Structure 1
Amino acid sequence: MAAEAGVSRQCLSRWVNRYRSSGDAGLLDRSSAPHSSPSQTPDEVVELIESWRREHKWSARTIAAELTHRGHRVSVATVGRWLVRLGINRRRDLDPSGASNRRPERITARYPGHMVHLDVKKVGRIPDGGGWRAHGRGSDADRAAQRAKAKKKGGAKAGYVYLHSAVDGFSRLAYTEHLTDETAKTTIGFFHRARAFFAAHGIVRITRLVTDNGANYRAGAFVRTATAFASRHQRTRPYTPRHNGKAERYQRTLAEELLYARVWTSEGQRARAIQVWNIHYNYHRAHTAAGDQPPASRLHQTVTNVTTRNI
């Protein structure tokens, strides 16, 4: 097997060198898209699907049957997918005249506390001394971390920690805690501390609390707590993370600018850095949603010695 692999690598190397020497190196960078897709639905069939949907309001099954009658064998599922791509899969997306009345809308908070988004990010625990990012994959430290992930402790995997975050949809003010699990009890405690953090910044009323459909957010204890301190607890549509997009985008920023921006030597070190970064994000980092100003600039009350007008 090793000999065969060596021969294959030699053949590939000769092929690459031959094309580079012949001036056709650009061929190596061509698109990976196929030259043709025989199974692709023809354009004329797509036009029939759209015209029949708009003119006759036919369902996907009726359209598929009519196409079969005309000699085009297209499944109902394929017709349904094309209706989704064309944006006319729902009857309410069409006027009686066949014109589209579908208007994409943005989820916009009108004032501080109008929409507060909660989310949890699960990240790997960093062993003392650093993990594979510090020592490389397959090292002794990496193998020790993998063994820790397989152990159970308190109902959660020992190899992970959970970053609970709350984001105000109007100002983008964010609060993050480094916790050991994502149970309903832990989430309720985080929610109370997040409310205190927002109240210190002048957000004393939460109109709508937006979460995903995680078990901790669906638990009866959390629902009762949420409805006691917020006018409404709204869970996003299943498999639609964009409805909680402000929290999702904050989690991505947190990962890119802190969690994986450097090599950490212990979990405690990263946990302390999250507290510092939280102040940086709210008071110093420019945010496009706040007009290239920090999130705290959209609020009148602050809790640090750096006021919003001096940021």
Structure 2
Amino acid sequence: MNDIDPKALFRLSVLGPLVSRERLSRGELQQIVRQLAQQEYAIPGSRRRHISEKTLQAWYYAWRRNGLGGLSDAPRTDTGRSKLPEPVQVAVLAAKRENPRRSIRQIRLLLEAAGLVPRDTLSRCAVHRLLKAHGISRIAGPDVVPEEKRSFAAEHAGSIWYGDVMHGPTLSFGGRRMKTYLVSLMDDASRLIVHSAFCLSETALDIEGVLKQALLRRGVPKTIVVDNGAAYRAATLQGICARLSMRLVYCRPYAPEGKGKLERWHRTLRDQFLAELDTTHIRELADLNARLWAWVEQVYHRQPHSALGNQTPLLRYQQDLPRIRLLGPLAAQLDELFWHRVARHVRRDGTVSYQNRRFEVPYELTGQTVMLVVDPHAGTVVRIESQTGEPLGAATALDVVANSTRRRRRAQPEPVTVTHATTPGPNLLELVHQRHYHEEG
């Protein structure tokens, strides 16, 4: 009996809600496919977590036609055979063997220059397949050295933190279905989750909020390693790290192995936390995070970890407590370190806007552009500064009712200085008057 293709079994399990139905009503196929496309999967042989609606439909119709066998990858009928003419194949292989360091582009240019193929007709993919079939596709030579990648770990806790965002479940909050995102920071040496929280977006503000709590709970790291996403590139996050003497390092694009330990944490969270989550108890985001923090502290941090010599992350972290740089006096200024500064134009009524709210500022600033110093997490305006950082006064929430009875300061006319000349100058009206009546007379 032939073994069943594991990929076919996986695809069949994904299509379960569809293949288990004897009949689908009008529009039901699209509805179920759309729901399946929104879920996350552990796809064999892939780092992706989602499957497109188009792919799901193709799998479904393949299953309808050929059953489980239709869900297996069909082998290529032209495997091992090149469509290039025989003389061209010989020339390609000879060119590569003569100089193993030649790239496909160089081989194509060489054959075009020799007149063996017309210009821009030799397929790059065809050349690659031919070289690969003969085991000589890689560039070789003394000057070509593969990139060195080695496993490493920070020597002490607090040396390196990793930051990343994972797509979380879609849940109902207040009658609305909302997508969640898990923002996490992990200590490299101990695998301790210094802080993690589900958010409703993955903006720089969400990341800064998690970082702020991590600093309060676990001290100040020397280095934070993050990916190249726009949220991590925000100037506000870079400024926070600079003021706290934390080095902010960005992983190279398309190199997820730089944060492999966090990827492993995400897998553990899916398998142990999300798999056990009872969403009937989740009414708001705070309910979800309360259960996350309880599980992290009571379960994850207390489980022996093979990479730590079967120590728990908490115990490994506690061993290095004397080495960890604490906030100390900076704790009292931490809120200020996370304040943002945004430019605003002061309206004619002496107000500015922030997050759809209006604030009154000193009326003398009317018409000017000022910097609002804001606490983005509290949604409040702390004070007003000039564009060079000079304090310009406070900002208070606009109270239109109180303003209706407030005594207003009236504009005072500027004093007019009267200069008494010793000799009066000409007066236009008198000159015109004299000329008019003199002409009539």
Query: Which residue of 52, 73, 78 maps to 1:37?
Result: 78
Judging changes above 3 Å, is the alpha-carbon distance between structure 1 residues 102 and 33 closer, same or farther for their aligned structure 2 residues?
same
Q: Which amino acid aligns with 2:158?
A: G
Query: Which residue of 166, 169, 173 maps to 2:188?
Result: 169
Judging changes above 3 Å, is the alpha-carbon distance between structure 1 residues 231 and 302 closer, same or farther for their aligned structure 2 residues?
closer
Are the equivalent residues in 1 in contact too, given 2:192–2:301 (CA < 8 A)?
no
Aligned counterpart, 2:291 = 273
**Cα deviation per residue 1:232-284 (whole Å; 9 max; x = unaligned)?**
21112223322222222212221221123343212554322101111145432
Aligned counterpart, 1:190 = 210
Q: Which one has the bigger helix percentage?
A: 1
Task: Summarize the alignment of residues 55-134 of structure 1 with structure 2, pairs less than 5 Å apart.
Answer: 55=99, 57-66=101-110, 74-76=122-124, 79=127, 88=138, 94-96=141-143, 101-102=145-146, 104-111=148-155, 112-127=157-172
Judging changes above 3 Å, is the alpha-carbon distance between structure 1 residues 238 and 77 closer, same or farther for their aligned structure 2 residues?
farther
Q: Alignment partner of 2:273: what SS?
A: helix
Query: Which residue of 235, 239, 250 maps to 2:250?
Result: 235
Aligned counterpart, 1:141 = none
Instruction: State the distance in 1 between where 2:202 and 2:154 align.
Output: 30
Are the equivalent residues in 1 in contact too, given 2:183–2:206 (CA < 8 A)?
no
Structure 1 vs Structure 2 CA RMSD: 4.3
Judging changes above 3 Å, is the alpha-carbon distance between structure 1 residues 107 and 233 closer, same or farther for their aligned structure 2 residues?
farther
Query: Which residue of 295, 305, 321 maps to 1:287?
Result: 305
Instruction: State the distance in 2 between where 1:122 and 1:239 align.
Output: 18
Unaligned 5+ runs, structure 1: 3-11, 17-26, 130-143, 150-158, 304-311
Instruction: State the distance in 2 between where 1:280 and 1:53 align.
Output: 61
Judging changes above 3 Å, is the alpha-carbon distance between structure 1 residues 231 and 50 closer, same or farther for their aligned structure 2 residues?
farther
Are the equivalent residues in 1 in contact too, given 2:304–2:311 (CA < 8 A)?
yes
The share of aligned pairs that are identical, in percent, is: 27
Task: Summarize the alignment of residues 208-219 of structure 1 with structure 2, pairs less than 5 Å apart.
Answer: 208-219=223-234
**Cα deviation per residue 1:52-97 (whole Å; 9 max; x = unaligned)?**
28935223211234567667x75235657978x97946xxx7414x
Query: Which residue of 226, 241, 258 maps to 2:273?
Result: 258
Q: Alignment partner of 2:214: what SS?
A: helix
Aligned counterpart, 2:435 = none
Identify which of structures 1 and 2 has the higher relative contact order when contacts are C-alpha pairs closer than 8 Å and 6+ apart: 1
Unaligned 5+ runs, structure 2: 1-22, 24-62, 322-441
Instruction: State the distance in 1 between where 2:152 and 2:222 align.
Output: 13
Q: Which amino acid aligns with 1:213?
A: N
Q: Which amino acid aligns with 2:152?
A: T
Instruction: State the distance in 1 between where 2:94 and 2:188 align.
Output: 38
Are the equivalent residues in 2 in contact too, given 1:115–1:210 (CA < 8 A)?
yes
Judging changes above 3 Å, is the alpha-carbon distance between structure 1 residues 53 and 62 closer, same or farther for their aligned structure 2 residues?
farther
Instruction: State the distance in 2 between where 1:219 and 1:172 align.
Output: 26
Instruction: State the distance in 2 between where 1:285 and 1:263 align.
Output: 22
Cα offset, 1:173, TM superposition: 0.9
Q: Which amino acid aligns with 2:163?
A: L
Q: Alignment partner of 2:211: what SS?
A: helix
Instruction: State the distance in 1 between where 2:267 and 2:94 align.
Output: 38
Cα offset, 1:221, TM superposition: 0.6
Instruction: State the distance in 2 between where 1:113 and 1:41 align.
Output: 55
Are the equivalent residues in 1 in contact too, given 2:182–2:196 (CA < 8 A)?
yes
Are the equivalent residues in 1 in contact too, given 2:128–2:137 (CA < 8 A)?
no
Is the radius of gyration larger for structure 1 or structure 2? 2
